[in-house]
Amino acid sequence: MTALAEKMRWDIAQLVENTDPDWITSKLEEMVEAANGLARRYRGKIKDLDAKGLLALLTARDDFSLRYEGVTEYSSLRYSADSTDAVSKRLNEALKKAGTRAGQALAFMEIELGDLLKAKPGLVTDTNLQEYKHFLERIVRRIPHVMTEELEKITMSKDQNGVSAWSQLQGDWLGTRTFKIMIDGVEKTMPYGEIISLYQSTNRELRKESNRVVYDGLGRDDQLWASAIRSICGDHLQMCEWRKYPAPMTQSIIDNDVEQAAIDALMRTMEGSVEAYRRYLRLKAKFMGLEKLGNWDIVAPLPGVPEKKYTWEESRKEVVSAYRSFDPEWAGWVDEMYGRRHIDAEVRNGKRSGAFCASWLAGKSAWVLQSFNGQMGDVYTQAHELGHAVHAYLGSRHQKPSNYEIGSCIAETASVFGELLLTDRLLAEAKTREEKRAILATVLDEFGMAAYQVSARVFFEQGMYDAIKEGKFLDGETVSSLWTAGRDKIYGDAIEWLPEMKWEWTMKPHYYIPNYRFYNYPYVYAQLFVFALYRLYKEQGLAFVPKLRTLLAAGSSRSPTELAKDVGFDVTSEDFWRKGMQQFEDFVGQLEATL
Ligand SMILES: [Zn+2]
């Protein structure tokens, strides 16, 4: 192994005392035993606990997860890094089995904790349990929506052949579709998973034709897709009634630990700010030499952008310096991630695609996986994942595992903030207008997809429930008209859509995933939240730094609304969210200036 290859490979042996696979599997067995031990000690007895007893239980639960974090993380990270290795496969299998058994052994806890808090609600505010206050509040919030044990059991088996089966059918159906397309005069037949890679082609006609072919094909099965989505929506409405959720979105609001008022303010801001996005899309069309962008051009790269490559050391320097401009301690942690070899960046066969960051709470650090090819996008990915690492460094220094279960609305705060720090640095270093343009378009496209496009999906989902309420029957054409209505609210006349795009909803797995309604607005929340924070940083300068530190260090010990309030922001007001929009508009303005 060359010195560089070694630097780009993580050293996960740090997670365990011993890397002998037999030792690891015996530790995993020990974990199952420890879970059984907790069950023996507490099953059926939680209802009798007083505050001190409950504190002992919650502490034991946290100690348990810290004690076995090393072996579980070692087994899963090793498999992510090389799934072809025989030992990795063996450890991954052992981990899955042990994880399921330990999970089953401890499943009683959540139910019994709910019963306990229902009987003794005063425990939530007991001073002995101060550290776990919000953890307990979240359980309390779910109590009114839990049914009797018998009904819960029946619901689970109903779902198996109900919502779960519809989701399985949608996935299987999509996975087995093939599409015919002409490439360089030769007709090719491609499965869905392959043809969608053509959406990113540098050949504009091919991008357009692949979109047309796919959605034309999917639309031919509209009866099947509509049956699935109609049944899933119908099931959800029925369950809302049984579980006493006042609105179709409520379950998701509770799961995400947010309030309806904040989401309403967020979505109103998005709806009121569509012109900024349309302005960007028109600008992008100009840069691409087009009258108007087609839907197949929305995230296409700008033409004529100089291809800039970064070495591993250059990337490290850019990312660490970006963080240093904000907080030297953060930069130190990020640099430590490289120095201690907590990043696996080498491109290799059998490695999981994409990138992720895994927190290592017991080690007060984290692990990052990516495949580094030296492109600007890879440097961004690195800055992003290392932002998650910073969050873990802060969280693990201040919170127990129960208070570091970060929900989707907050999870991307440090990571996207890091991307924006990198953006400012790269913009300052850019030597040509074309370079500047490429950086800004990358940031604006990402925001466009995560905030604006996903908002269209929120409008669509809400539209389906409203339509059902009005007594409409959701056949394929009706669902399509709701889809295009949501879409057009965002894009207006800034985009030319292929008529076949009305079938786009057919392939979105989220709408079919069981018990996962309104997956969408947390993405919008996360994106606009960070843009708003970044704007405030620009306005307040260094005075803002401790605020963001406090917010991240709190982990999940406070709700997203409280976290924001602690540092002086009100997420239920449109004024706060408008700050995020100002930052977006600022970037659009900078892009305009490169004309
Ligand atoms: Zn992320």
Q: Tell me the CA–centroid distance for residue 384 and ligand 1, in Å.
A: 6
Q: How far apart are alpha carbons 172 and 561 in whole angstroms?
A: 39
Q: Which residue has the tokens 């052949």?
A: 161
For residue 143, give both structure tokens: 């109590």
Q: Tell me the CA–centroid distance for residue 178 and ligand 1, in Å.
A: 32
pLDDT reported for residue 264:
96
Q: Tell me the CA–centroid distance for residue 355 and ligand 1, in Å.
A: 9
Q: Tell me the CA–centroid distance for residue 557 and ligand 1, in Å.
A: 20
Q: What are phi and psi of 281, to 5 degrees?
A: -65, -35
Instruction: Work out whether strand 343-344 and strand 178-183 pair parallel, antiparallel, or are unpaired.
Output: unpaired
Tens-of-pLDDT digits for all 595 residues of the chain? 678 888 999 999 999 999 999 999 999 999 999 999 999 999 999 999 999 999 999 999 999 999 999 999 999 999 999 999 999 999 999 999 999 999 999 989 988 999 999 999 999 999 999 999 999 999 999 999 999 888 988 998 899 889 999 999 999 999 899 999 999 999 999 999 899 989 989 899 999 999 999 999 999 999 999 999 999 999 999 999 999 999 999 999 999 999 999 999 999 999 999 999 999 999 999 999 999 999 999 989 888 877 789 999 999 999 999 999 999 999 999 999 999 999 999 998 889 888 999 999 999 999 999 999 999 999 999 999 999 999 999 999 999 999 999 988 999 999 999 999 999 999 999 999 999 999 999 999 999 999 999 999 999 999 999 999 999 999 999 999 999 999 999 999 999 999 999 999 999 988 998 888 999 999 999 999 999 999 999 999 999 999 999 999 999 999 999 999 988 899 999 999 999 999 999 999 999 999 8
For residue 474, give both structure tokens: 């959701």
The residues, ordered by sequence, that sit 6+ positions from 392 with a Cβ below 8 Å of its Cβ are 357, 359, 360, 361, 365, 366
Q: Tell me the CA–centroid distance for residue 413 and ligand 1, in Å.
A: 9
- The reported pTM is 0.94
Q: Tell me the CA–centroid distance for residue 523 and ligand 1, in Å.
A: 11
Q: Tell me the CA–centroid distance for residue 364 and ligand 1, in Å.
A: 19
Q: Tell me the CA–centroid distance for residue 529 and ligand 1, in Å.
A: 14
Q: Tell me the CA–centroid distance for residue 416 and ligand 1, in Å.
A: 7
Q: Tell me the CA–centroid distance for residue 359 and ligand 1, in Å.
A: 12
* CA 82 from centre of chain: 23
Radius of gyration of the chain (CA): 25
Q: Tell me the CA–centroid distance for residue 527 and ligand 1, in Å.
A: 11
Q: Tell me the CA–centroid distance for residue 145 and ligand 1, in Å.
A: 31
Instruction: Work out whether strand 343-344 and strand 365-369 pair parallel, antiparallel, or are unpaired.
Output: parallel
Q: How far apart are alpha carbons 94 and 24 in whole angstroms?
A: 9
**Domains delineated in the chain:** 3-146 (1.20.140.70), 159-275+447-521 (no CATH), 312-431 (3.40.390)
Q: Tell me the CA–centroid distance for residue 415 and ligand 1, in Å.
A: 6
Q: Tell me the CA–centroid distance for residue 114 and ligand 1, in Å.
A: 31
Q: Tell me the CA–centroid distance for residue 405 and ligand 1, in Å.
A: 14
pLDDT reported for residue 152:
87
Q: Tell me the CA–centroid distance for residue 549 and ligand 1, in Å.
A: 18
Q: Tell me the CA–centroid distance for residue 388 and ligand 1, in Å.
A: 7
End-to-end Cα distance, the chain: 47
Q: How far apart are alpha carbons 552 and 399 in whole angstroms?
A: 11
Q: Tell me the CA–centroid distance for residue 412 and ligand 1, in Å.
A: 5
Q: Tell me the CA–centroid distance for residue 386 and ligand 1, in Å.
A: 9
Q: Tell me the CA–centroid distance for residue 411 and ligand 1, in Å.
A: 7
Q: Tell me the CA–centroid distance for residue 176 and ligand 1, in Å.
A: 30
Q: How far apart are alpha carbons 160 and 2 in whole angstroms?
A: 51
Q: Tell me the CA–centroid distance for residue 368 and ligand 1, in Å.
A: 11
What type of residue sits at position 527? Q
Q: How far apart are alpha carbons 31 and 241 in whole angstroms?
A: 40
Q: Tell me the CA–centroid distance for residue 564 and ligand 1, in Å.
A: 20
Q: Tell me the CA–centroid distance for residue 367 and ligand 1, in Å.
A: 13
Q: Tell me the CA–centroid distance for residue 476 and ligand 1, in Å.
A: 34
Q: Tell me the CA–centroid distance for residue 436 and ligand 1, in Å.
A: 24
Q: Tell me the CA–centroid distance for residue 414 and ligand 1, in Å.
A: 9
Q: Which residue has the tokens 């067995």?
A: 29
Cβ of 154: how many Cβ atoms within 10 Å? Answer: 12
Q: How far apart are alpha carbons 573 and 421 in whole angstroms?
A: 26
